[in-house]
Structure 1
Amino acid sequence: MLTVSSNTVDSKNIKKEQSSTDIEDGEQIALNSIEPEPTTRWGRFRNSFKPAILDEYEHDETFNDLEKAIAATAQSPLHKSLKNRHLQMIAIGGAIGTGLFIGSGGALASGGPAALIIGWFLTGIMVYSTVQALGELAVRFPISGGFNVYSTRFIDPSWGFAMGWNYALQWLIVLPLELVAASITIGFWNDTINKAAWVAIFYSIIVFINLFGVKGYGEAEFFFSTVKVLAVIGFIILGIILDCGGGPKGGYIGGRYWSNPGAFSNGFKGVCSIFVTAAFSFSGTELVGLGACETKNPRKSLPRATKQVFWRITLFYIISLTLVGLLVPYDDSRLGASSNASASPFVLAIENAGISGLPSVINVVIIIAVLSVANSSVYGCSRTLTALAVQGMAPKQFAYVDRAGRPLVSVVVSLVFGLLCFLAASSKEGEVFDWLLSLSGLSSVFTWGSVCFCHIRFRYAMKVQGRDANAELAFMAQSGTIGSYFGVLLNTLTLVAQFYVALFPIGGEPNASDFFQSYLAFPVIFAFYAFHKIWKRNWILYVRAKDIDLDTGSAEHDLDLLIQEIQEEKDFIASKPIWYRAYRFWC
Structure 2
Amino acid sequence: MSDIEKQVKSGYEDASSITSQHVNPISSPTYAFKTSTNKWQSFKDSFKRVEVEELDPNLTEAERVAIATARAPLKRHLKSRHLQMIAIGGAIGTGLFVGSGSSLRTAGPAGLLIGYGISSTFILCMICALGELAVEFPISGGFTTYATRFVDESFGFAANFNYALQWLVVLPLEIVSASITVNYWGTPKKYRDGFVALFWVVIVVINLFGVKGYGEAEFVFSIIKVTCVLGFIICGIALVCGARGNYIGGTYWQHPYGAFVGDTAGARFKGTMSVFASAAFAFAGSELVGLAAAETANPRKTLPKAAKQVFWRITIFYIASLTLVGLLVSHKDPRLIGSSSVDAAASPFVIALVSHGIKGLPSVVNVVICIAVLSVGNSAVYACSRTLSAFSEQGYAPKWMNLEYVDRAGRPIVGIAITSIFGILAFIAASEKEGEVFNWLLALSGLSSLFTWAGICLCHIRFRRALSAQGRSTNELSFCSPVGVGGSYYGLFVIILVFIAEFWVAAWPSGFKQMSPSAIAESFFETYLSLPIVLACYVGHKLYKRNWTLFIPASEMDIDTGRREVDIEQLKADIAQEKAELAAKPFYVRWYAYAC
When normalised by structure 1's length, the TM-score is 0.93
User: 1:540 aligned to 542, 549, 553, which one?
Assistant: 549
Correspondent of 1:197 among 194, 199, 223: 194
Aligned to 1:345: 348
Q: 1:519 aligns with which of 528, 541, 552?
A: 528
Cα drift, residue 118 of structure 1: 1.0
Query: Using a 3 Å threshold, how does the CA distance of structure 1 residues 401 and 35 change in structure 2: closer, same or farther?
Result: closer
Q: Tell me which residue corresponds to 1:206.
A: 203
Q: 2 CA distance for matches of 1:6 and 1:235? A: 52
What is the CA–CA distance in structure 2 between the aligned matches of 1:228 and 1:55, rounded to whole Å? 44
Distance apart, 1:12 and its partner CA: 12
- Report the equivalent of 1:104: 100
Q: Separation in 1 of the partners of 2:337 and 2:39?
A: 50
CA change 1:230–1:12 in 2 (3 A) is farther
> Which amino acid in structure 2 is aligned with residue 210 of structure 1?
N
Deviations 1:182-207 (A, max 9, x none): 00000001231421110000001011
* Contact 2:115/2:276 (8 A) holds in 1: yes
Distance 2:302 2:539 in 1: 38
Q: Which residue number in structure 2 is paired with residue 162 of structure 1?
A: 158
The reply on whether 1:43 has 2:41 as its aligned counterpart is yes
Identify the residue that residue 232 of structure 1 maps to in structure 2.
Answer: 229
Contact 1:5 1:56 in 2 (8 A): no
- Which of 174, 177, 188 lines up with 1:178 in the alignment? 174
1:277 correspondence with 2:278:
yes
Change (3 A) 1:8 1:245: farther
Contact 2:11 2:54 in 1 (8 A): no
Q: Secondary structure of 1:418's partner? A: helix
**Which residue does 1:528 correspond to in 2?**
537
Aligned to 1:359: 362
The offset of 1:64, in angstroms, is 3.6
Task: Read off the aligned partner of 2:223 and give its amino acid letter.
Answer: T
Q: 2:495 aligns to what?
A: 491
1:564-575 mapped onto 2 (5 Å cutoff): 564-575=573-584
CA distance in 2: counterparts of 1:8 and 1:47, whole angstroms: 21
| 1:533 CA displacement | 1.1
1:223 aligned residue (208, 220, 224) = 220
Q: Distance in 1 between matches of 2:167 and 2:145?
A: 17
Point out the more displaced range, 459-468 or 68-77.
Answer: 68-77
Structure-2 separation of matches of 1:12 and 1:347: 60
Name the amino acid aligned to 2:92.
I
Corresponding residue of 1:332: 333
Counterpart of 1:310? Answer: 311
CA deviation string 1:304-347 (max 9, x = no partner):
11111011000000000001011111111111514322101101
Matched with 1:442 is 447
Q: How far does residue 126 in structure 1 lie from its aligned partner after superposition? A: 0.6
2:457 to 449, 452, 463: 452
Could you tell me how far apart the structure 2 residues matched to 1:579 and 1:259 are? 41
**Paired residues for 1:131-146 under 5 Å:** 131-146=127-142
Task: Find the counterpart in structure 1 of residue 590 from structure 2.
Answer: 581
CA distance in 1, matches of 2:38, 2:343: 46
Partner residue in 1 for 2:265: none
**Quick check: 1:8–1:77 contact (8 Å CA) kept in 2?**
no
CA distance in 2, matches of 1:571, 1:70: 34
For 1:339-370, what per-residue CA distance to the aligned partner results, in whole angstroms no more than 9, with x for missing partners? Answer: 32210110111011111111100000000000
Question: Who is 1:245 aligned against?
Answer: 242
Partner-residue secondary structure (3-state), 2:274: helix
Residue 51 of structure 1 deviates from its aligned partner by: 0.4
Structure 2 counterpart of 1:505: 509
Q: Which moved more, 1:264-273 or 1:65-74?
A: 65-74
Give 1:447 shift.
Answer: 0.4
1:377 and 2:380 aligned: yes
Alpha-carbon contact 2:229-2:321 (below 8 Å) kept: yes
**Contact 1:133/1:484, CA 8 A, preserved across alignment:** yes
Further displaced range: 567-576 or 280-289: 567-576
Q: Which amino acid aligns with 1:434?
A: N
Aligned equivalent of 1:18: none
Moved more, 89-98 or 353-362: 353-362
Letter in 1 for 2:226: V
Shift of 1:551: 1.1
Shift of 1:379: 0.5
Aligned residues: 568
Report how far residue 55 of structure 1 moved.
4.1
Task: Give the C-alpha shift of residue 280 in structure 1.
Answer: 1.0
Structure 1 residues 146, 336: closer, same or farther in 2, change over 3 A?
A: farther
> Bigger CA drift: 254-263 or 338-347?
338-347
CA contact (8 A) 1:6 1:75 kept: no
Measure how far apart 1:565 and its partner are.
Answer: 2.2
Equivalent-residue separation in structure 1 for 2:195 and 2:511 (angstroms): 35
What SS does the aligned partner of 2:334 have? coil
- Secondary structure of the residue that 1:427 maps to in structure 2? coil
Residue in 1 aligned with 2:252? 257
CA 1:11–1:237: 2 relative to 1, 3 Å: farther
Alpha-carbon RMSD: 2.1
User: Aligned partners of 2:293, 2:53: CA distance in 1, in Å?
Assistant: 20
CA shift at 1:60, angstroms? 5.4
| d(CA) in 1 for partners of 2:571, 2:14 | 32
| In 1, Cα distance between equivalents of 2:299 and 2:50 | 23
What's the CA shift for 1:571? 2.4
Question: 1:74-93 alignment to 2 at 5 Å?
Answer: 74-93=70-89
Of 116, 122, 128, 1:120 maps to: 116
Describe the shift of the 1:12–1:360 C-alpha distance in structure 2 as closer, same or farther (beyond 3 A): farther
Q: Write the distance in 1 (CA, Å) between the matches of 2:347 and 2:511.
A: 22
Where structure 1 has 5 or more consecutive residues not aligned to the other structure, the ranges are 15-23
Give structure 1 regions of 4+ aligned residues with deviation exceeding 3 angstroms. Answer: 6-14, 507-510
User: 1:231: Cα distance to partner?
Assistant: 0.5
Cα distance, 1:65 vs structure 2: 2.6
| Residue of structure 1 in register with 2:297 after alignment | 296
Shift of 1:534: 1.9
User: Structure 1 CA distance, aligned partners of 2:510 and 2:15?
Assistant: 60
Question: Aligned equivalents of 2:36 and 2:227: distance in 1?
Answer: 43
Asked whether the equivalents of residues 93 and 369 of structure 2 are also in contact (C-alpha less than 8 Å), the reply is yes
Shift of 1:9: 6.0
Instruction: Report if the CA contact (8 A) 1:167-1:381 is conserved.
Output: yes
- Whether the 8 Å CA contact 1:5–1:55 is kept in 2: the answer is no
CA contact (8 A) 2:87 2:306 kept: yes
1:6 Cα offset (Å): 5.2
Partner secondary structure for residue 130 of structure 1 = helix
- Specify whether residues 521 and 330 from structure 1 end up closer, same or farther in structure 2 by C-alpha distance, changes over 3 A only: same
Distance 1:10 1:254 in 2: 66
